[in-house]
Structure 1
Amino acid sequence: GHRDSVDHLIAKGANLNARTTDGKETALHCAAANGHAPSAESLIKAGADASLVSSDGMTALDSAKQSDHAEVAHLLSKASAIAAEEASRRWLTKTEKAAAEKALRNAAF
């Protein structure tokens, strides 16, 4: 099936965010638009960027919703929420580190 092909390409080190030959969309967009939830799940777990926009301005989540593929839309929504939380955590860590460094500089005599 499609997932086997996707998993094989992932294992071989394929660029997860490569676009179709016409440059319009990624594999994740294709999986989303066609309702291939297992393929989308493999791509997401392997690190495909769900925030990329197709040439018509749509994310993979937009494609899944437009095509009424609720299972794929759910996977992508969940992946987006996790990515946003991780980004927030990284920012907070950087902010806290900068504040601590500033406090140490200010405390130096």
Structure 2
Amino acid sequence: MSSRSVRRKAVADGRRSVKAELTVHTGNDKVELEVLKFGLHVALDQADVVQAVFFEDSKKLEIGLKEGSKVTLSCTFEGAQQLAVNLLPEERDSDFLVHTVDGDRFCAWDDLR
């Protein structure tokens, strides 16, 4: 069954997404995200990242980009921290936030530094 057929079947079954393995490559001021199953390749430069917010209740990291675009990933808080270290230089630590289950937002590094 092709990827497209799998996706159509998932939508028809009422599911919103099909799970696929995400590979993350980090380099100089850049993070590359790949989903080989679907041929997806996204390269994010530090200069393009405005903010990263980890949503505790849904375990998702939302990466805000210039021009209002965003990338949302399901991950653990530890995974979000690793990506944030590569996406944001240290002087922009305050741009990595945690949105708690209670609805509060705070700098993700406040309790760690």
**One fold, TM greater than 0.5?**
no
Larger Rg: 1
Relative to its length, the structure with more strand (as a share) is: 2
Relative to its length, the structure with more helix (as a share) is: 1
